[in-house]
Chains A and B, each alone.
Chain A
Amino acid sequence: MATRKLTELASVIRSKNSGPYELTLDVIFKDKAAYDAVCRSQVINKSTIANLYGISEEEVIGIIEFAPANAIKATIVRPYPSGALGERDVYGAQQHAPLLNLEVSLD
């Protein structure tokens, strides 16, 4: 079993608002083989996302595998609504960094 970093397998790792109350994390893989392998590994799940972001699993709204784009996305509840007092990232575009270090065990 080989361990690879997500950054080696994906061409896009990004975060963005999905409306003012949600943050959505997109991982788009370089090819179908990488996508299929990561889907099989089930490494991107509610528990992984909750751990990476220090939130509860209830705050992870969903994990979706989207084959047409070779993508897996996770959506979480924004800790603050976009633009609320104390909020730091109105567009939600810089919340992806914890995913960059994620390691995947491939069979």
Chain B
Amino acid sequence: MKEYRVLSPTAILGYGFPEESFRAGLARQPHLIAVDAGSTDPGPYYLGAGVSFTDRAAVKRDLELMIEAGLQLDIPVVIGTAGGAGAQAHLQWNLDIILELAQEKGWRFPLAVIHAELDKETVLKAYHEQKITPLHPAPAITEEEIRAADRIVAQMGPEPVMAALQKGAKVVLAGRAYDPAVFSASALLAGFDKGLAIHMGKILECGAIAASPGSGSDCLLGTLREDCFIVEPLNPNRRCTPTSVAAHTLYEKTNPYILPGPGGVLDLRETTFTQLSEQAVQVAGSKFVPVEPYAVKLEGAKKVGYRTVSIAGCRDPIMIAQIDHIVEAVRERVADNFKKYGYDYFLHFNIYGKNGVMGDLEPNSQITSHELGIIIEAVAETQELANTICSFARSTMLHYGYPGRVATAGNLAFPYSPSDFKAGPVYNFNIYHLLEVADPLALFPAEIIKVGEGQ
């Protein structure tokens, strides 16, 4: 029977995996080891600032095991969304780790690097040609927002990875990529069905999260056949069930039946999930429906200022009863104190114990806690101004004489000295749009680096 086996060691490169599970996966003679290295989930900072949310030493540990195994078995290793967000800085960060490992281990292999960051002129040109549309409920794009973005990436489909593999790459390091792309590209080259290959990639991309009990730091094996695929954990303490696998299909998705991606949608309306053995689930009936014109997702982040935060607690019931009033009074005092300078800043009090987690979505308006956690946050154009606003709000709140106060020594309990933390630049997502492209490869230039030869 024609089969294509894909080993997914972990949900995110750097989240780790037990070596025992990984060895059990290698013993199944996979045709590919693939891993997703990123996500928009940790928020806009990492894309905007060009840094990874995963730790360098942890990423290096995972890559050492994966690439060593790939070279030994002579199978490709494919990494998607390098460095967490897949822009140029992230790609370079991840590339440096691979080159460092290669030098330490004496590896020699052809490495493909696929770029996914777009320059603003390319995006502006597409915008003026009306090839960019918002992904509801994101706001419409403007020329100003495109120019304001610090980094813009496009999410590649499997095609650029397929092209890199065809050029003989043993390791493929891809910038921002559709999660299933890195798991499905080599199987698509081998002629397997796209709907099944992409759906299998979608389940494999989170490692053993699709098993029960689930884990983002353990391995999952996918076996693609001509008319179905099978997923199974490699840790004997986990099993896949139709519910655990199907439930993963709906994770983080708006509609689990119709899943849009580069160049088309995955249609799962006729997909079946069947328990095949104690640990394995067979999936069949998933279809890929191409959508014309081919479109990829754009993600952009822009800097909106610098942040300073101060963390404090409050245990005084007289103050807790008036916390909303006190926050407003402190806010007004800050505004009044600096009014002659016309400072532009954002000042926010996040009160844990009173809508600190849900804000406006919180149905419970009554404070029932005997203590509150208070985070004072200032964001301004410069770090110095953020420091000034946060510091002044903190000292004002500490000594504010609210009605009925008996605790005249101070209103706040600070767990730390210094009490204020300079958090650096702050970014917002400002582009989350679809871009039509004539050629799935056009936005994703690739190069082959001969690792270990003359470097």
Contacts and interface: CB of A to CB of B under 8 A. Distances in A.
Interface in B1-56: 40-45
B361 A95 contact: yes
Nearest to A26: B250
Interface string B244-271: 0011011111111100000000001001
B427 A83 contact: yes
A20 B432 contact: yes
A86 B40 contact: no
Given A69-B250, A71-B247, A64 B256 contact: yes
Contacts of B373: none
B357 interface: yes
B177 to A, nearest CB: 16
B321 interface: no
Interface in A46-74: 52-55, 61-62, 64, 66, 68-71, 73
Contacts of A89: 357-358
Interface string B138-169: 10000000000000000000000000000000
B246 A54 contact: no
B396 interface: no
Given A28-B243, A55-B361, A85 B42 contact: no
Contacts of A26: 247, 250-251
B247 A18 contact: no
A39 to B, nearest CB: 15
Contacts of A18: 252-254
A90 to B, nearest CB: 4
Nearest to A80: B359
Contacts, number: 131
Contact of B44 (A20, A22, A24, A52): A20
Contacts of A75: 254-255
B289 interface: no
Contact of A28 (B138, B247, B268, B350): B247
Contacts of A62: 254-255
B426 A85 contact: yes
B135 interface: yes
B255 A69 contact: no
Nearest to B352: A88
A82 B272 CA distance: 34
A52 B429 contact: no
B357 A12 contact: no
B363 interface: yes
B338 interface: no
Nearest to A32: B243
B379 interface: yes
A70 B350 CA distance: 37
B428 interface: yes
B250 A73 contact: yes
Interface string B41-80: 1111100000000000000000000000000000000000
B138 A21 contact: yes
Q: In which size bucket is the chain A interface?
A: 35 or more
Contact of A88 (B42, B135, B350, B432): B350
Given A12-B247, A26-B251, A71-B247, A79 B428 contact: no
A77 interface: yes
A41 interface: no
A66 B242 CA distance: 12
A24 B357 CA distance: 16
B356 interface: yes
Contacts of B379: 85
A33 interface: no
A53 B247 contact: no
B441 interface: no
B292 interface: no
A83 B243 contact: no
B435 to A, nearest CB: 16
Contacts of A77: 137
B348 interface: yes
A70 B247 CA distance: 8
Contacts of B362: 54
Nearest to B307: A85
B427 A17 contact: no
Interface of B: 40-45, 135-138, 242-243, 246-247, 249-257, 268, 271-273, 304, 346, 348, 350, 356-363, 379, 426-429, 432
17 contacts: A12-B247, A19-B254, A21-B137, A28-B247, A53-B361, A68-B249, A69-B246, A70-B243, A73-B256, A79-B359, A83-B43, A84-B428, A84-B429, A86-B359, A88-B356, A88-B357, A90-B41
Query: 3 tightest CB-CB pairs across the interface, nearest first?
Result: A83-B43, A69-B246, A68-B246
Given A17-B41, A69-B246, 11 more contacts: A16-B252, A21-B432, A26-B247, A68-B249, A69-B249, A70-B243, A71-B256, A79-B361, A83-B45, A83-B428, A89-B358
